Structure 1
Amino acid sequence: MTMLDDLITFLRERLLTRKAIAVQARDALDRWESGNDPEQRWSLDGSVIGVNLKGEYCCLGEEVSRFIGLRPPEQEIAEADALLQIVELAKAANGLEDVIEAEFSYGRDGENDPLVGDSILKQLALPYADHPEYREEWRP
């Protein structure tokens, strides 16, 4: 695999995880009893514990709880889908640039003149720079 393939795989994994958590939050909110429920409590790990519509106690988990109240899960899902599409478009842009370069033979210094798609992918990966699988070579 090339550096670009590894970067694309890394981004897809992060975005699909983000989307999956948002789907869990959306589904949990569908079941959640909103309002000022006196039974609602916060656990020590930060996850919401409360009573769902059936009167059952449930624990949403820390990752899901973080989404509740921050932004609508549907918005997070749509953004993750859009970013996944941008990853594909950036990959396609690199292919188009390769064709143009071959046709016009203008030459490229890969270090100082990166492909547009590479630059887009590196920017998309930057918010995940603290992830253990992030590589410094991906930094823009």
Structure 2
Amino acid sequence: MEDLVQFLRDRLAEDEYEAMVAVQRAPGPWRGTSLDEAPAEGGGLVDANDDGIALVHDRYLRLYMARRDPARDLREVRARQRIVERCAHWDRVVATNSVDALSDFEKGERTAWLHACFALALPYAGHPAYREEWREESRP
């Protein structure tokens, strides 16, 4: 599990860096025209200062980009980091004790956090450091 935890820490650090750079360059929240109001063509993406960030012609893409506000991405990274740290906690517990020394409740909690980390790793499956054995369907 240690390798999975480190892999996730590294990926989340990259995500955090990219989101922080975007926040510095265009502080959010970002907003785009709603689908009801959006013309079929034209329109843009703006930040909280009403500065134009990008001219995006496709209205669905504009809404998607507005929802991917970098401040939201930072909050998402922080939430995922908390999950990864719970996995790291159980990694440390098992490193100092035998899994057999854990209560049934602790074993279940450890397993649940481990499965959460496997799920968090899935979006990074295309990364060269991703391991196929982390895929839920590849494990018994």
TM range (shorter): 0.5 to 0.7
The aligned residue for residue 69 of structure 1 is: 66
d(CA) in 2 for partners of 1:103, 1:41: 56
Change beyond 3 A, Cα 1:9–1:29: same
1:24 equivalent to 2:21? Answer: yes
1:52-67 residue pairs with structure 2 within 5 A?
none
What do you get for the CA RMSD once the two structures are aligned? 3.4
d(CA) in 2 for partners of 1:135, 1:103: 27
The aligned residue for residue 2 of structure 2 is: 5
1:87 and 1:121 in contact (8 A); partners too: yes
For this pair of structures, how many residues does the alignment match?
102
d(CA) in 1 for partners of 2:113, 2:55: 46
Q: Of Structure 1 and Structure 2, which has the larger fraction of its residues in helix?
A: 2
Moved segments of 4+, more than 6 Å? none
Shift, 1:126, TM fit: 0.9
Provide the identity percentage. Answer: 31
Per-residue Cα deviation, 1:88-140 (whole angstroms, up to 9, x for no partner): 112324638x77842558xx8xxxxx822221211110111111110011111
The aligned residue for residue 35 of structure 1 is: 52
Shift, 1:33, TM fit: 7.1
2:101 maps to amino acid: A
Structure 2 unaligned blocks of 5 or more: 28-46, 57-63
Using structure 2 for the length normalisation, give the TM-score: 0.58
Structure 1 unaligned blocks of 5 or more: 43-66, 109-113
d(CA) in 1 for partners of 2:126, 2:102: 40
Change beyond 3 A, Cα 1:80–1:103: closer
Using structure 1 for the length normalisation, give the TM-score: 0.58
The aligned residue for residue 33 of structure 2 is: none
The aligned residue for residue 134 of structure 1 is: 130
